[in-house]
Structure 1
Amino acid sequence: MSTSIWVTFVRHGGSQVRRGALLKTRILQDNTRIISASYCPTVGRRALSSRFDPDGSGRPATWDTFGIWDNRIDEPIQLPPSIKYGKLIPRINLSKVGCSTQLVKRKENEDRFNYAKLTDDVLYFAVYDGHGGAGAADFCNRFMAKKIKEFLKEEEDLEKVLTKAFLEIDKAFARHAHLSVDATLLNCGTTATVALLRDGIELVVASVGDSRALLCRKGKPLKLTIDHTPERKEEKNRIRECGGFVAWNSLGQPHVNGRLAMTRSIGDLDLKSMGVIAEPETKRVKLHHADDGFLVLTTDGINFIVNSQEICDIINQCHDPAEAAQVLTEQAIQYGAEDNSTAIVVPFGAWGKHKSSEVSFSFSRSFASSGRWA
C-alpha cells in the first residue's frame, strides 16, 4: 500500500476510507500493470484484459463495464470522488442531460431552464416558471448560476449557498424592476427549483413555488420538494400574520390576496409585504448510483396532470434522457395540460435498470387538468 493511502487512512479512518484505500490500491495496481505492459508485449496483452480495460481497446474503464448496473449510459468513473467516498461514482456528462419545453394553451412560454458546470466538482440544474410575464424567470435564468458560483467561493455548505443565492437574486431583481421603464416587472414573479450536484454524489435541491424535483430510486419517486401553496398551514399562517389573506377561486384553488397561487417566489414585489418570501426550502440527498436512475425537474404544467409515479414510469420507458424529457412534456399535453410544460432529466447510475411494464392512465385527469388536485 502506498504512502499516500496510509496518510489518507490515518487522517480520516473509518470503513469508507478503508474501502477507498482498497479501491485506490487496486486502481494503482492495474495502472502499474498497464505501464509495465508497454515494455513487454506478452504481459501487455494480459494486463489490458484486466477489468479496467476488458476489451483491450485502451479506452478508460467505465462503471457500466463492471457489471454492477444494468444501464445504457456508458461513462467513465470519477476517480478522486470514488476514492473519497469509497464507492464507484460515474461522471455525470452534461451532454447526456435531457430537456424539453412545450408551449401549450398560453400566448407565451414563460418557463425557463438551464444547466451548467459551475466548478470542477459542482453541476447546476434549474427550472423557472414565470407568471405575470417572463421578466423574473428571465432574470433568474441569466444570473442565478453566476450568483451561486460567487457564493461557492466563500461557502462549503451547498444548502447555505442556495439559500443565499435565492435571497440575493430576489433583492437584485427588485432593484432591477424599480429602475426599469417596464412597469410589468413590478408584478411578475417566478418559481425556482435549483439542484446542485457535487462530486457526482452529493445532491442538494432548493425551491420556491410549485415547480418540483424528484429522484427516481429503485423505480419509485423520492420527492425532493414540497409545493409552496396557501393550503400548507404554516404558509397560510405566515401570509395572514403579515397582513395578507387567502381567497379561493371558482375552481377551489387558494390564492394569496386572490392573485397568487403560491406563497414563495422570486419577484411578486407587490406581495412581498404580505408574506410572500423568496427563502427556499432545501433538501440534501446522498446518491446511490446502483439504485438511483435519474433526477427530474418539472414545472406545474407537468406536475398537476402527471403524478410522481407516472413521471418515473414514463421516463423509465425511454431509451435516453433526451427522449424522456420530450415524451414527458408531450404526454402531459396529451393528458390535458393547459399550462406550459418543461422538464430536465439527469441520468444517474441506475438509468435503464428499473422499468415498469405499463404506464397507468386516468380518464378523469382531463377534467382536473386546470386544477390543483391531479
Structure 2
Amino acid sequence: MAHDSLYAAPPVGAEAEPPGAGGERGAGRLAGLRGALGSWDAAVVAALVVATLLASATVQNFATGRNVQFLLLDLVPLALLALPMTLIVITGEIDLSVASTVGLCSTLMGQMWLSSGLSLELICVLVVLLGAVLGAVNGVFVTGFGLPSLAVTIGTLALYRGLSFVVLGDQAVADFPADWTAAAVRSIPGTSIPAAVVPVLLLALVFGVVLHATPAGRALYAMGNNDQAATFAGVSVARTKFWLFVASGAVCGLVGVFWTLRYASARGDNATGLELTVVTAVLLGGVSIFGGRGGLIGVVAGVLLLGVLRNALQLADVDANALTIVTGALLIASVVLPNAVADVRGRLHRRRQRATPVAR
C-alpha cells in the first residue's frame, strides 16, 4: 500500500532530471520545506515542547538536574530499540520480541558472569553477538520461510521470555563490579546528561544517514510501499529484511548489557512490557504501521515525548496502571491520527486537481 510522505523514497531506479530542471528542483525543495513545517514530525516536536513546559511548570521536581538524569537514563533503552524498529516497520514488518530478547540477553550475561569465569568485557561482546543470533532466528522465519513477522515475533516474544526464566529461574545475579555499574549511570562531567546518551546519539546519526541519505534507505521505503516492485527494481528484499532483524537483535543485546549494569541485576523479567512502549514511540513518531512512511526525526521526538509524559505522570504519583492506559491510548492515536491526516490531505489534493483547469 503506497503512502505519500515527506520521507517517502523516490522510485527505485528513477531517471535523472533533465537539464534546466534547476528551477523545478528549487520549487520542489521549497514545497518540501513547507511540507516539513506542517508535517507530523513538526506536530510531535510541538507536542514535546508543550508537554515539557507544562510539566516543568506544574510537576514538582520535574525540571531538576537529578530528574533529567533519571529521565534520560530511562530513555536510553527505549531510544536504542526504536532505531532498528523504525527501519523494520518502514519495510512493512515488525519485531515484537525486542523486550524478551533484552531479558534473555540479560540473563545470559548474568549466567556467564556467575559461572563461566570470562572477563566482563568479553561477556558484553558475547551478549551482543547472542542478541544478533536471536534476531537472526526471527529473520530466518520471516524471510526464509515467508512467515508474517507479527506471528513470528509474538512467538519468539513468548519463547525468549520463557528461556530467560529457564536460564536463571527466579534467581537474580547482582554481584557485578561496582565500577561497571557506576559507569552505566555516570553523567558527563559538569552536566546532568548521562554518558550513555552519547552512544545513543552516535547510533541515531548512523541510522539516520543510512535511512535518509543512502540508496539502501530509499530501498527500505520502496519495500514498505511494494515488495514486488522493489524486487523488480533490483532490491534484495529478503536479505535486507534478514539483516534488519539481525541488527535489531544486536541492539537488544546492547540494551541487555546496559539494563543489567544500570540496575546491577540480571533477572528473567528484565524489560518486561517494553515492546509496547517501543512500538508506541515509533508509531507516535510518524512511522506508518503499513510501511513506506516515516523518519527518524519524528521517532526521536516521539521517544522524548513518551518519556516526558511517563516521567511527569510518575512524579505526579499516577498509578502504574494509568501509565499503561496512557501508553495504549497513545499507541491507538499514533495509528489512527496520521492515517486520518494523510487521508484528508489526499482528498484535498484530489479536489484541487479536479478544480485546476487543464492546460491546453
Report the TM-score when normalising by structure 1: 0.31
Larger radius of gyration: 1
* Higher strand content, 1 or 2: 1
Greater RCO, CA 8 A, separation 6+:
2
* Higher helix content, 1 or 2: 2
Report the TM-score when normalising by structure 2: 0.32
